[in-house]
Chains A and B, each alone.
Chain A
Amino acid sequence: MRTLILLLFGLVPILCRAELVELPVRPGVIATADYVAGDRAKPAVLLLHGFLQTREFPTVVALARSLQDAGYPTLAPTLSLGIPRRKQSLPCEGIHRHTMEEDVDEIAHWVKWLKARGNKTIVTFGHSFGSLQLLVYLQQVPEPAIKGYIAASLIEAQTGKVARAPLVADLESRVRSGQRALVTHPLSFCGKYVSTPAGLLSYARWDQPQTLAALKKAPVKKLLIMGDADPMLAPGWLKALAHIEVPVTVVKGANHFMDGMHEFDLVEQAIVFLDALKAPPR
């Protein structure tokens, strides 16, 4: 009987639907997330989408479903990017006032929320630019509950072909002079990213060296899952990652989104990583 009861309890998280979580992150701005409690014995996974995307991005949805199926508590937030209850991906041409700092702050809110929901062991799992944002968070906000970091298709903040230094200098100049005029500049996959100078500057600082440094310094167990057919990756990025001695799993033939059959590779690698983490005692 006890076995049966335990079995029923064990199935409850699986059978439960995702919970929509709304979390005020700033005045007037409420961020939302899907949360599945999962197995309390397993580390909670905070899944973060890519640049300007939402938790409804296919790669994220697939990962979340797989992890939930595997019994992992998952929290898949959508960064508000300054929009209350944002539920749509923001176009590049949209007015981007958000900054890396605000993104990190929202991540911190969600980590706190996870912890408030009793998740002592947390693994952050980001895709693409979300991996970078999680990485920045790990660097800037040390959180003991976070035990692991998984990055799929981790990339730096790409700013196009122009030299980053002049750009950063220009942006810093604008910020210092208090200019609020929107600027349009390539960022990540956006050819014309419209943003405030401060917002663009906050992202533009995260070039490859900054990223590698943060990755190296991150005080958690890490796993990088990269596709060798990812066109978004800057040349030599995989080699650079290898140089800092961070575990990197390269999925043959996978692109930036790890879709198709590569999705299973991604999930398999992630679950292996998660399973390897020892869940904290309750």
Chain B
Amino acid sequence: MSRLPPLSIRYLALAFIVGLLALTGLVGTMAGYQTRSVAHSMAQRAQDVARTELTAAVERLVGQMTARAQALAEWDETRQQLVMSEYYTHWRDHRVYENRMINGPGNRVALYAADGRILAPTATGPAMPAVFPGGWPADRIIARLVRNGNATMLDIAFPLFSDAHRHALLGHGILRVDFMAALLEQNTLHFVDRNSIRLHMTANEEIDAADLLSRLTYAPLPNADQERFLSILSRTLIALLGVLGIAAVTGLVVYNRLLVRPLRRLSLDIDAMQQGGFPTEGMRTQPMQIVELENVRRSLYDYQLQLHKLHGSLEHQNREFRSQARQDALTGCYNRRAYDEDWETLREEMKTAPQSVAFLLFDCDRFKAINDTYGHARGDRVLTLMADALVMALRAKDRLYRFGGDEFATFLVGATPMQARQIAQRCQNLLDASVFTDLGINEPVGISIGIAYCPANEVEQVDDLPKRADIAMYAAKKPGNDRIAMYGEDIDAASQTLVASRETSALFQALSTPGMIEMHYQPIHALPERQIEYYEALARIRYNDALIMPGAFMPVIGSRRLETPFDLAVLQQVDTDLASGQLPRGCGVSVNLSAQSICKPEVVSQLLELSRHNDRHPLMLEITETSLITQMSDVRTYLELLRTVKYRIAMDDFGTGYSPLRYLVDLPVDVVKFDISLVNKLGRDDRAGRIVADFASMMGNVGYSLVAEGVETEAVLQKIEGLGIAHAQGYLLGRPTPLAAIAGGVASTARRA
């Protein structure tokens, strides 16, 4: 059942008033109709009463006149005139009146002899027929109406007999009266308009009295009470309708003023509130005349006021939070969130107002070492001082963003490449001038700066600026550079070369195509048994039936910052290989993992998934390039987590610049893999060889399990065995081999056994 849409109270009120008026009109119409019906009924009743009255009056008149005629007929003096008519005129003109046989001068009587002759002609008054009408019955009384001139006479003719048996006819008599005068003289008409009575007869026409009523027309006398009643009723109805109409209009006005307008005002105020506005006039200053509405208005206003205050408070807090959310708590500069917002804003502005932009990426050199060496508090202080120096070096309108750790960035709108480089140089100069000795840090603290530039006419490249600056920053970190690198022709050329190379294509294809990365496994032998205990999983890319070795694609990974995707692909392939069951049970597998990937949740998740093979194949993670670890605490946490699922942690390439000794202290490392450069020194019998040997011996004594990489000669192997190093790896013991080959070797060994 569909609901009606909400209606406006104004229209409801209007509909109600219109309905009320319509209903009033209907009632008035019905009342008017009923009144007219009653009036018609009363008029009909009056007509009937008038007809009855007039009929009775006529019958009474005829009856009276007939009775008079009858009395005349039976009056002795009447018969006397027919016997002796000498004094007939005296009788006619006096006696009949004296004796009240007839009354009124308009009434006349005439007597006729048996032969029809009148006894004496009339001299005055209405003329009487000279001869008794021959067509009239002679033996009974009859009543006839005769049109005589302008008057209509009622003639009552009566026979006169001398005997009781009515055998001896003496003559006739005619009693004549003026019908209308006699009728009106009765004075008994109370319901008939006397002036309206008309008797329609033609000249000299003669009709029987029985037909009299059909010739009479009349009008009922207006009933004053009835007309007064109807008039009062009509006036009352009109007054009632008028009062109702006025009341309806007044009610509408009052309703509109007292309810509709305030409600509309409330509604508009509420709408304004919903739009975020706050009415300061109507709702607050104009009280409403309806108590309930006034209460609603006050409550709403108070509520809105409180809400407004709360909103203001929230707005303030929001600004505070937003400010705090955009500010780096440690350094006071803008944080990554502010960067994202400002960068997005800039991108949008660039679409409409293109201008040149230079993106500067700052990274503190050896901050990890400083942090580890002097503690986090001092490390944080170094970051603060560094941020202060950078902010001071930037232009007033430029903002410094901290991405995390020791990485900062800024973008210089409208700057030329030269200006960008000058600003970068100023940053380095200020930082170099900063004194960190107060913090107890005596070694120099420097930064590497990568610059990417986008001219105004190439705004479509603005999205590539962060990436380019990152590449430039890594270029700046390379030994030999002046720690400021601008993404430009040289870097771009190298990048383009990499991108255009076969290895690059193979790498990107391998990352998106499962199976293209092929794992080769190089055995790690336990000493002195020289038995295979682990295999180190080494990635190869099979591309167009050829293998691309790590030396070819690893630079691309580094330059493209593809460490994490590559590591995920490797872990996926190792998982597949382990699940295939081709490796001998009990043989461990060591997997290389870049320092950048170890703190990535998706990598950790993949490792946790891979840990299900630990019971069959003990797993070991070889962390490479540990010097690039920036979030030491997070890495430590993840490594501790992985150790709980039986991973062993190995520090790879120990002895190179990527794996400093200090990281060995902070990271939960189980195995230390001596880089081949150190292993080669073991073979020499000089001071370096002794230092390495002693160092290896010392580490073995404190519980680290050592693995010697790059063992290529028997002499080195023996030396290693002599130093008590538990494991060795190198071409001497076994080259990296495809999984299928390992499986085949295992199978043939089994067959030989």
Interface residues of A (CB under 8 A from B): 22, 28-30, 82-88, 90-91, 93-95, 97, 180, 182
Q: Are A180 and B163 in contact (CB under 8 A)?
A: no
A-B contact pairs, 16 of them (CB 8 A): A22-B163, A28-B83, A30-B163, A82-B80, A82-B84, A83-B80, A84-B80, A84-B162, A84-B163, A84-B170, A85-B163, A88-B76, A93-B98, A94-B80, A94-B99, A97-B86
Cα separation A183 to B79 with both chains bound (whole Å): 21
Which one of B87-95, B246-254, B613-621 contacts A? B87-95
Cα separation A30 to B168 with both chains bound (whole Å): 11
Provide the residues of chain A in CB contact with B164, threshold 8 Å: 85
Chain B's closest residue to A22 (CB) is: B163
Cα separation A30 to B79 with both chains bound (whole Å): 12
Provide the residues of chain B in CB contact with A88, threshold 8 Å: 75-76
Cα separation A91 to B97 with both chains bound (whole Å): 13
Chain A's closest residue to B78 (CB) is: A83
Cα separation A182 to B90 with both chains bound (whole Å): 9
Query: In the complex, how many angstroms separate the beta carbon of B359 from the nearest chain A beta carbon?
Result: 157
The residue that A86 contacts in the complex, of B76, B95, B99, B163, with Cβ under 8 A, is B76
Q: Are A97 and B84 in contact (CB under 8 A)?
A: yes
Q: Are B75 and A84 in contact (CB under 8 A)?
A: no
Chain A's closest residue to B91 (CB) is: A95
Is B77 in contact with chain A by the CB < 8 A criterion? yes
Provide the residues of chain B in CB contact with A22, threshold 8 Å: 163
Provide the residues of chain A in CB contact with B170, threshold 8 Å: 84
Cα separation A205 to B187 with both chains bound (whole Å): 51
The residue that A83 contacts in the complex, of B83, B86, B87, with Cβ under 8 A, is B83
Chain B's closest residue to A93 (CB) is: B98
Q: Are A90 and B76 in contact (CB under 8 A)?
A: yes
Chain B's closest residue to A97 (CB) is: B84
Q: Are A182 and B79 in contact (CB under 8 A)?
A: no
Query: Which residue among A82, A86, A91, A94 has the maximum number of chain B CB atoms within 10 Å of its CB?
Result: A94
Provide the residues of chain B in CB contact with A30, threshold 8 Å: 162-163
In addition to A88-B76, A91-B99, A95-B80, 8 A-B residue pairs with Cβ atoms within 8 Å of each other are A30-B163, A83-B76, A84-B80, A85-B79, A93-B99, A94-B80, A94-B95, A95-B95
A85 and B162 contact, Cβ closer than 8 Å, known pairs A93-B99, A95-B90: yes
Cα separation A91 to B76 with both chains bound (whole Å): 10
Provide the residues of chain A in CB contact with B86, threshold 8 Å: 97, 180
Cα separation A85 to B160 with both chains bound (whole Å): 12
Q: Number of B residues whose C-beta is below 8 Å from A?
A: 18
Interface SS, A side = loop
Q: Are A29 and B83 in contact (CB under 8 A)?
A: yes
Cα separation A93 to B163 with both chains bound (whole Å): 24
Interface 1/0 per residue, B59-85 and A, CB below 8 Å: 000000000000000011101100110
The residue that A84 contacts in the complex, of B79, B90, B91, with Cβ under 8 A, is B79
Cα separation A91 to B84 with both chains bound (whole Å): 17
Provide the residues of chain A in CB contact with B83, threshold 8 Å: 28-29, 82-84
Provide the residues of chain A in CB contact with B80, threshold 8 Å: 82-84, 94-95
Cα separation A86 to B162 with both chains bound (whole Å): 9
Provide the residues of chain B in CB contact with A93, threshold 8 Å: 95, 98-99
Q: Are B90 and A90 in contact (CB under 8 A)?
A: no
Cα separation A90 to B84 with both chains bound (whole Å): 15
Query: In the complex, how many angstroms separate the beta carbon of A93 from the nearest chain B beta carbon?
Result: 5
Query: In the complex, how many angstroms separate the beta carbon of A177 from the nearest chain B beta carbon?
Result: 17
Interface SS, B side = helix
**7 closest A-B pairs (Cβ-Cβ)?**
A84-B162, A95-B87, A83-B80, A83-B76, A88-B76, A86-B76, A28-B83
Chain B's closest residue to A94 (CB) is: B77
Query: In the complex, how many angstroms separate the beta carbon of A279 from the nearest chain B beta carbon?
Result: 34
Query: Which residue among A83, A85, A180 has the maximum number of chain B CB atoms within 10 Å of its CB?
Result: A83
Cα separation A250 to B83 with both chains bound (whole Å): 42
Provide the residues of chain A in CB contact with B163, threshold 8 Å: 22, 30, 84-85
Interface 1/0 per residue, B161-178 and A, CB below 8 Å: 011100000100000000
Query: Which residue among A84, A85, A86, A97 has the maximum number of chain B CB atoms within 10 Å of its CB?
Result: A84
Chain A's closest residue to B88 (CB) is: A95
Cα separation A84 to B164 with both chains bound (whole Å): 11
Provide the residues of chain A in CB contact with B162, threshold 8 Å: 28, 30, 84-85
The residue that A97 contacts in the complex, of B75, B87, B98, with Cβ under 8 A, is B87
Provide the residues of chain A in CB contact with B79, threshold 8 Å: 83-85
Q: Are B87 and A182 in contact (CB under 8 A)?
A: yes
Provide the residues of chain B in CB contact with A29, threshold 8 Å: 83
Provide the residues of chain B in CB contact with A90, threshold 8 Å: 76-77
Provide the residues of chain A in CB contact with B77, threshold 8 Å: 83, 90, 94-95
Cα separation A87 to B76 with both chains bound (whole Å): 7
Cα separation A84 to B84 with both chains bound (whole Å): 10
Chain A's closest residue to B94 (CB) is: A93
Query: In the complex, how many angstroms separate the beta carbon of A140 from the nearest chain B beta carbon?
Result: 24
Chain B's closest residue to A29 (CB) is: B83
Provide the residues of chain A in CB contact with B95, threshold 8 Å: 93-95
Cα separation A200 to B80 with both chains bound (whole Å): 18
Q: List CB contacts (< 8 Å) of B155-210 with chain A.
A: 162-164, 170
Cα separation A88 to B75 with both chains bound (whole Å): 8
Cα separation A88 to B74 with both chains bound (whole Å): 9
Provide the residues of chain B in CB contact with A87, threshold 8 Å: 76
Query: Which residue among A85, A93, A95 has the maximum number of chain B CB atoms within 10 Å of its CB?
Result: A95
Cα separation A82 to B79 with both chains bound (whole Å): 10
Cα separation A180 to B86 with both chains bound (whole Å): 9
Cα separation A94 to B86 with both chains bound (whole Å): 13
Query: In the complex, how many angstroms separate the beta carbon of A170 from the nearest chain B beta carbon?
Result: 20
Chain A's closest residue to B77 (CB) is: A94
Provide the residues of chain B in CB contact with A85, threshold 8 Å: 79, 162-164
Query: In the complex, how many angstroms separate the beta carbon of A55 from the nearest chain B beta carbon?
Result: 14
Cα separation A83 to B84 with both chains bound (whole Å): 9
Chain A's closest residue to B87 (CB) is: A95
Chain B's closest residue to A88 (CB) is: B76
Cα separation A83 to B86 with both chains bound (whole Å): 13
Cα separation A88 to B80 with both chains bound (whole Å): 12
Query: In the complex, how many angstroms separate the beta carbon of B644 from the nearest chain A beta carbon?
Result: 160
Query: In the complex, how many angstroms separate the beta carbon of B551 from the nearest chain A beta carbon?
Result: 177
Cα separation A22 to B167 with both chains bound (whole Å): 14
Query: Which residue among B76, B83, B95, B99 has the maximum number of chain A CB atoms within 10 Å of its CB?
Result: B76
Provide the residues of chain B in CB contact with A95, threshold 8 Å: 77, 80, 87, 90-91, 95
Interface 1/0 per residue, B346-375 and A, CB below 8 Å: 000000000000000000000000000000
Provide the residues of chain A in CB contact with B91, threshold 8 Å: 95
Cα separation A84 to B162 with both chains bound (whole Å): 6
Interface 1/0 per residue, B78-122 and A, CB below 8 Å: 011001101100110001001100000000000000000000000
Query: In the complex, how many angstroms separate the beta carbon of A267 from the nearest chain B beta carbon?
Result: 29
Provide the residues of chain B in CB contact with A180, threshold 8 Å: 86
Query: In the complex, how many angstroms separate the beta carbon of B498 from the nearest chain A beta carbon?
Result: 168
Provide the residues of chain B in CB contact with A83, threshold 8 Å: 76-77, 79-80, 83
Provide the residues of chain A in CB contact with B99, threshold 8 Å: 91, 93-94
Provide the residues of chain A in CB contact with B84, threshold 8 Å: 82, 97
Query: In the complex, how many angstroms separate the beta carbon of A57 from the nearest chain B beta carbon?
Result: 15
Query: In the complex, how many angstroms separate the beta carbon of A119 from the nearest chain B beta carbon?
Result: 25
Query: In the complex, how many angstroms separate the beta carbon of B273 from the nearest chain A beta carbon?
Result: 115
Cα separation A142 to B192 with both chains bound (whole Å): 71
Query: In the complex, how many angstroms separate the beta carbon of A209 from the nearest chain B beta carbon?
Result: 32
Chain A's closest residue to B160 (CB) is: A84
Cα separation A182 to B84 with both chains bound (whole Å): 14
Query: In the complex, how many angstroms separate the beta carbon of A77 from the nearest chain B beta carbon?
Result: 15
Provide the residues of chain B in CB contact with A91, threshold 8 Å: 99
Cα separation A86 to B87 with both chains bound (whole Å): 18
Query: Which residue among B84, B90, B95, B98 has the maximum number of chain A CB atoms within 10 Å of its CB?
Result: B84
Query: In the complex, how many angstroms separate the beta carbon of B412 from the nearest chain A beta carbon?
Result: 157
Cα separation A124 to B458 with both chains bound (whole Å): 176
Provide the residues of chain A in CB contact with B87, threshold 8 Å: 95, 97, 182
Cα separation A91 to B91 with both chains bound (whole Å): 12
Query: In the complex, how many angstroms separate the beta carbon of A31 from the nearest chain B beta carbon?
Result: 12
Cα separation A202 to B712 with both chains bound (whole Å): 211
Cα separation A85 to B80 with both chains bound (whole Å): 10
Query: In the complex, how many angstroms separate the beta carbon of B85 from the nearest chain A beta carbon?
Result: 11
